[in-house]
Homo-oligomer: A and B are copies of this chain.
Amino acid sequence: MASSREPGTAPRSRPETSSGRHASGDSPAAASAGARPTSRDVARHADVSQATVSLVLGGKWEGRVSPRTAENVRSAARALGYRPNLAARSLRLGRTRTALLVVPALTHDYFARVHTGASRVAAEHDFGVVLYPSPEGTGPAVDPFGSARAALDGVIASSMAPDALAALRDGGQLPLVMLDSDPEADRSPATVNLDIADGMHQAAAHLLELGHVHIAHLAAAVDSWTFGMRARALHEAVAGTAGAVVRTERCALSVEDALRAATRILETRPRPTALVCDDDLLAAGACKAARRLGLRVPEDLSVTGFDDLSLATALEPELTTVRLPAEEVGAEGMRALLAVLDGRRARTPVLPVELVRRGSTASPPAHRT
């Protein structure tokens, strides 16, 4: 429509200006036929140059473009429904304002919440987050770039195994922020951690206070920092209490396997009166095992979880568990990445965690009247 004097179109005196168009049809010389409008179209409509459009829409116009012109540009953009071509911008800038969030699985809502937190902070900085559930779980992540398909400025990886870290760094020299991972790892980049040890200490202290002495640890057979730490912390805590013992049983990170492992534990004598589980999923399996053996939770057996997934309150009784501030982890991870990208030193906080006491723990049978 309308006022096109077409200022931006003039010079371009190369030979094949018209035969050079090998793109999809319909544009002999002019503008927005139905294709997506470009900044040039906006410029034409506002009767300014493409540079002015870029300045105005990029928010860098003050002192350089008159307010009137700026307003013209904005309304032209609105009228045309202009949205910048991200590919072109990325190519020009060499940056994409996009981070990849690599997580081992999406079956935990823990990771969904990490994503929420990261996205929130990202949005505040006009960044985007692309979620990439690693097909290998906590294992080595296969070239996320092929799969995630976005051009990336950086990577945030949560709870991945050490090898996974290595593979990620190879796939490009991208800045990397690790979440819930070994802070001492080789060439460790920024790390955002949870005070896992304190969480386990709280759980153990709670059980010991209740009077439990025979404690079992249902440990996740996953080679990652976070689970190693859980095991160490539990043993530390119990070792400090005279007469208390821990026995460990390992199992895969699934309800089914936890059910089997918990059954093994509960069939040995003396039967533990409390089961500390590395994860709420495992605690769910433990509760199933108890029920099948005719044991009541928490009267005959106390069970604790870890993570405070939504599963924890879907069960009856609800799980006593360690709540991890998942959203905050994601948010801090994104802040750390932003800092690295800015060349600033990233904070590498250790976030506090909290034991949530619910219905799955109580004093052991012997202690009650």
Contacts and interface: CB of A to CB of B under 8 A. Distances in A.
Interface string A59-93: 00000000000000000000000010111101100
A57 interface: no
A291 B311 contact: no
A149 B24 contact: no
A151 B87 contact: yes
A338 B119 CA distance: 28
Given A130-B130, A292-B316, A316-B288, A149 B98 contact: yes
A87 B96 contact: yes
A238 B135 CA distance: 43
A292 B315 CA distance: 12
A340 to B, nearest CB: 16
B91 A255 contact: no
Contacts of A353: none
Contact of A97 (B149, B172, B287, B315): B149
B128 A255 contact: no
A40 to B, nearest CB: 14
A208 interface: no
Contacts of A45: none
Interface stretch (A105-113, A211-219, A225-233, A265-273): A105-113
B316 A314 contact: no
A313 B151 contact: no
A338 to B, nearest CB: 14
A129 B292 CA distance: 42
Contacts of A255: 310, 313-314
A123 interface: yes
B133 A115 contact: yes
A234 interface: no
A121 to B, nearest CB: 13
A288 B310 CA distance: 14
Interface string A325-358: 0000000000000000000000000000000000
Interface in A1-49: 23-24, 36
B311 A311 contact: yes
Contacts of A133: 112, 115-116, 131
A73 to B, nearest CB: 20
A150 B288 CA distance: 43
A266 B314 CA distance: 18
A83 B145 contact: yes
A131 B131 contact: yes
A128 B149 CA distance: 5
A147 interface: yes
A59 to B, nearest CB: 15
A203 interface: no
Contact of A109 (B107, B151, B291): B107
A281 interface: yes
